[in-house]
Chains A and B, each alone.
Chain A
């Protein structure tokens, strides 16, 4: 099978499946193709050049719904490649401004957002140009978490700052040259900026939404219909690869594997920070331990929760990318395919949750949930502002966020 990926640490399950024998054990040969843009990934999956790919979670939903001015092709996400893995980094200069406005290294997202709001207001009062903040794609978890975080402090991401798209390999240089003041991107790019002494990590995805979704395996819906057996083999291979990638015993082996130029192409000691959740937030500071910074396998990390799909959908509505209707919400939900995940893994010892969706943010501590083995523990999975997302009441959630859905 031919699979596309973007050189990021969270592409690990695909690379491990190909390189550590998990695909071969399922009788699959994986050809991995390193791509340069998410647009290429989407187009090549859409056209069948790739059988599947490492994808931003919201991308198969947007493509299925035909938003973003592109061909409408039904895609599916039957496997989540992990939880978390990205962060928000600001320039040293902006961090100093934020410190003057109440920020402290390692403070929580609410404190950081409030400090940033202070900087934004100060700039508006003194008629300085607005801050420029970069993220990777309009249909990315990064876009939505960044907007969610900004809006929490009353910063309007469409008016109070300039929110731009920038490809990950250009982020660090753009921050250094002052073209941008901050970015939200997956690893290794945050740590590379910190390592060069030009960026400060002020929030991680896991702090904004603990055990929140990020990348998925995306494929054409027709692939599942035409080649179910190959898809099930792939899911099983990825499942074992993700377990291997999440095992601390394999951490340094995984870091050197990903460090290869054909894959992520960054120094292994930088990659290892993300793998172990020991993030250096600012140059020459000791590493901070970030719980669940990047989860490859634990806490049902690979299960394609339909509540994740619906949360992404809710943010598409919130930010005006699509108009809400109950029918559209349902189409978005069904892009995520727990049924295929279950069928693929039913003959394995994998634990499977009984539910296909859950109230996001409801678990403040680890909690046993109903599953095949009865031993599945999920959470804590809170949003930093304590809001709950009930997938059965998307409209109510949007109203709470101040979105008119009537």
Chain B
């Protein structure tokens, strides 16, 4: 069960990932979700937003800015790291593996935000998977383009059918222990050089 009244602040200069997380939190019924993607005057913005829970991505050097908030006694509401006892080690591991760090404001019970944290971790992981899939898809597309080019060269210069051209590329790749796309790239480069 999540606590709809909690104010959550997402600090992430990756606007896409912040959106993925924001949507997830809203779907879970949290209405007060805020996002900071511009890191200038970060401390002032955090204080102005006055959040109950803060999420910040780990690649963000501004994590150290948050460290200062533990020290500023003039700020009435002070955030603390979500995990301050050893029983949380598994949760910290999961958060760090996912690439996010969480802070809750002093006085707020950890149990109230456990499900929000779990959701954040799973969204961060989902985002990483998405990014990996995207880059794999992009790679596959580029591979196919170059293989098609190489097939065309073989078909023209050696009078092969498309299937035979591909079979030749594949056999060469296997013999040389290389990827078909790499062999194709070599052929395309060589053909360019030879004019």
Chain B residues within an 8 Å CB radius of A291: none
Instruction: Tell me, yes or no, whether A69 is within 8 Å of chain B by CB.
Output: yes
Chain A, 126-170, CB within 8 A of any chain B CB: 136-139, 158, 164-170
Q: Is the interface of A mostly helix, strand, loop or mixed?
A: loop
CA distance A49 to B93 in the complex (A): 9
Chain A residue total in the interface (Cβ 8 A): 30
Interface-forming stretch among B68-76, B134-142, B163-171? Answer: B68-76
Partner of B61, one of A71, A72, A167, A179: A167
Chain A nearest CB from B110 CB (Å) reads: 13
Which one of B43, B64, B70, B79 has the greatest number of beta carbons of chain A within 10 Å?
B64
Chain B residue total in the interface (Cβ 8 A): 34
- Contact residues of A with B, CB < 8 Å? 36-40, 43-44, 47, 49, 66, 68-72, 136-139, 158, 164-170, 179, 320-321
Closest-by-CB residue of A relative to B66 is A39
Given known contacts A71-B83, A138-B71, A37 and B64 CB-to-CB distance under 8 angstroms: yes
Chain B residues within an 8 Å CB radius of A38: 64, 67
Closest-by-CB residue of A relative to B74 is A158
Chain A residues within an 8 Å CB radius of B85: 71
Contact indicator A179/B41 (Cβ below 8 Å): yes
Given known contacts A43-B92, A70-B81, A179-B41, A167 and B62 CB-to-CB distance under 8 angstroms: yes
Contacts A38-B64, A164-B65 known; 13 new A-B pairs at CB < 8 A: A37-B61, A37-B63, A39-B64, A39-B101, A40-B58, A49-B96, A68-B71, A69-B70, A71-B85, A71-B86, A139-B67, A165-B65, A170-B61
Chain B, 3-60, CB within 8 A of any chain A CB: 39-41, 43, 58-60
Contact indicator B71/A47 (Cβ below 8 Å): no
Interface string of B72-111 (1 = CB under 8 A from A): 0110001111011110110011001000010000100000
Partner of A36, one of B60, B71, B73, B93: B60
Contact indicator B64/A136 (Cβ below 8 Å): yes
Contact indicator A71/B92 (Cβ below 8 Å): yes
Chain B residues within an 8 Å CB radius of A40: 58, 63
Contact indicator A167/B96 (Cβ below 8 Å): no
CA distance A164 to B80 in the complex (A): 18
